[in-house]
């Protein structure tokens, strides 16, 4: 398989993870990374994720988001 071949996008990966969670009775935090900061594409993207960060990735913002998710549990 070509290393540039996309097997699934983040929306599909999130859908499959959420389905597996039901089988195992767990919750896996998912932080989405997107080039979309707002609008229709972002609304489609955020379904099922716990949090979202837009590109370009900001290390401090991401670490804060991880801390916030961790403190929820």
What was the pLDDT predicted at 41?
A: 61
List domains and CATH numbers for the chain. Answer: 10-72 (3.40.50.2300)
- β-pair partners for 52: 32
pLDDT tens, residue by residue, 11-67: 888 999 999 999 999 999 999 887 766 656 666 667 788 888 888 888 998 999 899
Phi, psi values for residue 38, rounded to 5°: -165, 170
- β-pair partners for 33: 53
CA neighbor of 57 nearest in space, from 39, 41, 33, 40? 33
Helix ranges restricted to H, 1-73: 10-24, 40-46, 59-72
């Amino acid at each position: 398989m070509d290393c540039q071949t996309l097997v699934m996008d983040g929306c599909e990966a999130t859908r499959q993870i959420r389905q597996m969670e039901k089988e195992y009775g767990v919750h896996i935090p998912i932080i989405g990374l997107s080039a979309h900061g707002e609008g229709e594409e972002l609304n489609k993207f955020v379904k099922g994720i716990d949090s979202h960060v837009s590109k370009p990735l900001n290390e401090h913002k991401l670490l804060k988001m991880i801390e916030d998710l961790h403190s929820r549990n």
